Amino acid sequence: MHIHILGICGTFMGGLAALAREAGHTVTGCDANVYPPMSDQLRALGIELLEGYGAEQLAVKPDLFVIGNVVTRSNALMEAILDAGVPYASGPQWLAEHVLQGRHVLAVAGTHGKTTTTSMLAWILEHAGLKPGFLVGGVPQNFGVSARLGEGRCFVIEADEYDTAFFDKRSKFVHYRPRTTILNNLEFDHADIFADLGAIETQFHHLLRTVPAAGRLVVNARDDALQRVLERGCWSEVLRFGAKKEEPGALRARGEPHAFDVLRGSLKIGRVDWALLGEHNQMNALAAIGAAEHVGVAPDAAAAALAHFENVRRRLELRGEAGGVKVYDDFAHHPTAMRTTVNGLRRKVGLQRILAIFEPRSNTMKLGTMKAQLPWALEEADLSFCHSGGLTWDAREALAPMGEQAQVCDGIDKLVTAVVKAARPGDHLLCMSNGGFGGVHGKLLEALNARAQ
């Protein structure tokens, strides 16, 4: 089959392209911006990439056009596809029919931690010799790629609640038909497509309806929204994790996030010693262990595998050090994720100063829906610097409760200047964005190095 993918440079669609190519399909694609690193990865696989969405791409004549959710009506190529009456499908639909069919799908859903937990689960299965396939919204460092078909029956997928396509407004994860499903957490996000938390809970309940009775739901015991989802109807086994107190059958942790026992009730069933930080990663580990158990990996073996887990790129990733100042990169783009990331670094560095540098770049943050939560998200940082370029709301007003602890800059160069002026040897600069952030990491290191010399 020859497929032509619209929006091929997105993380999900790029991963789908790699899987299709590995499966022997002819793959071409286009995007508004064809740029590294995804463009390099795809071309290395022999995938021809076209810039833009011109109607002339009908001449490619694939068997099927696969449509990414960045594509809207009025897109010139999409309009030409509709006018010509040629076959098209969404990315999740194609994946379900051509990759996931007949596999034991393990899906990882939730507002936060999907990429990390998916990577943990894939690594546990790999370490156990199950040779899983996977599709992750990042690059797990244990594998070095974001997607592969795998040789075993299991396929691990990051199950996103974002909508499928302009013609299919269901969440992507409804297409995956998982037998094992992690529900990590649930709070309001994606304000551009969901009216409120209740609308997201409905999509999560649609996911539950696709899990068979012989399946397993691995559910965060602390999350009220997930409990409401379960109360709407549940037809599968439920394994809860992360309960604060002993709970029969549930998984919980005893100890610090970097070194803890895994308990079922009061019985120790595993031990995790690793380099990761933060209680959120402890919770992610419990979820992955509970899901792996459903496909036959014993909890003690799963816990032991995590000692060799190397995390995902852009998760508190140290990008470099200059003039005694360390610069980190993190994907956090929701206030809760930002708070969790800052807390994780705080646990590591103790009383040393943290300078939080962030841009409200996600669709939800651009709308200003969660601007009032920013002071709460940043309260453990010593200083905070916001890049306000492109915002339609007043970042200075939103950060006013922080007083002199917060600065706002409308350009990357101004931001770098302000941060470098404030930074001292021994400081930790934490950059948070779900985009490239204008190369701020490299610019900070360059400026700090120049200052030191």
Predicted local distance difference test score (pLDDT) of residue 362: 72
Q: What is the domain-level CATH number for residue 136?
A: 3.40.1190.10
Give 363's pLDDT tier (boundaries 50, 70, 90): low
Query: Is residue 29 pLDDT above 80, yes or no?
Result: yes
Distances (CA, A) of 17 to 55, 98, 161: 21, 12, 20
CA dihedral 297, 115, 17, 94 (to 10 degrees): 70
Q: Which of 141, 138, 180, 176 shows the shortest CA–CA distance to 159?
A: 176
Q: Where are the beta strands (DSSP E) in 58-207?
A: 64-67, 88-90, 104-109, 133-135, 147-148, 154-158, 163-165, 168-171, 180-183
* Range in 37-41, 98-102, 441-445 with the lowest mean pLDDT: 37-41
CA distance to 24, 78, 92, 155, per residue, from 149 (Å): 11, 29, 15, 8
Give the CATH number of the domain where residue 359 resides: 3.90.190.20
- For residues 37 and 22, give the distance between their C-alpha atoms in angstroms, rounded to a whole number: 19
Whether residues 106 and 233 fall in one domain: yes
What's residue 195's pLDDT?
A: 78
Per-residue pLDDT, 259: 94
Quick check: is 110 in a domain?
yes
175-188: pLDDT as tens digits: 999 999 999 989 87
Residue 161 located in a structural domain:
yes
pLDDT at residue 305 is higher than 90 = yes
User: Is the pLDDT assigned to residue 313 strictly greater than 70?
Assistant: no
* 256 and 324 belong to one structural domain: no
Tell me, what's the pLDDT at 368?
A: 77
Tell me how far CA of residue 45 lies from CA of 41, 82, 145, in angstroms. Answer: 7, 29, 12
Pair of tokens at residue 68: 């990414």
Least Cα distance to 313 among 335, 298, 328, 296 occurs for 328
> In whole angstroms, what is the distance from residue 17 CA to residue 24 CA?
11
Domain count, the chain: 3
For the segment 301-327, the average pLDDT, to the nearest whole number, is 88
**Could you tell me if residue 71 is left (phi over 0), alpha (psi between -120 and 50 degrees) or otherwise beta?**
beta
pLDDT of residue 35: 66
Q: What is the CA radius of gyration of the chain?
A: 22
Same-domain status, 141 and 86: no
Q: What is the pLDDT of residue 298?
A: 97
Average pLDDT over residues 39-57: 90
Enumerate the β-bridge partners of residue 260: 255, 272
Per residue in 128-184, pLDDT (tens digit) is 999 999 999 878 888 888 899 999 999 999 999 889 999 999 999 999 999 999 999
Residues 164 and 219 in one domain: yes
Q: Which residue matches tokens 């007949």?
A: 102
Percent over 70 (pLDDT), the chain = 98
Residue written as token pair 């009032």 = 372
**pTM for the full model?**
0.80
CB–CB of 191/363 below 8 Å? Answer: yes
What distance separates the 2 farthest-apart alpha carbons in the chain? Answer: 65
Query: Could you tell me the pLDDT band of residue 294, with boundaries at 50, 70 and 90?
Result: very high
User: Could you tell me the pLDDT band of residue 364, with boundaries at 50, 70 and 90?
Assistant: low
Distance CA(302)–CA(400), nearest Å, equals 46
Host domain of residue 330: 317-452
Pick the last residue of a domain from 62, 93, 124. Answer: 93
- Across residues 318-337, what is the average pLDDT? 87
Please check whether residues 182 and 236 belong to one and the same domain: yes
- Last residue of a domain, which of 28, 60, 93? 93
CA distance 430 to 417: 15
Instruction: Tell me the average pLDDT across 316-342.
Output: 86
One domain, residues 322 and 442 = yes
- The mean predicted confidence, pLDDT, of the chain is 91
Residues 287 and 428 in one domain: no
pLDDT of 268 above 70: yes
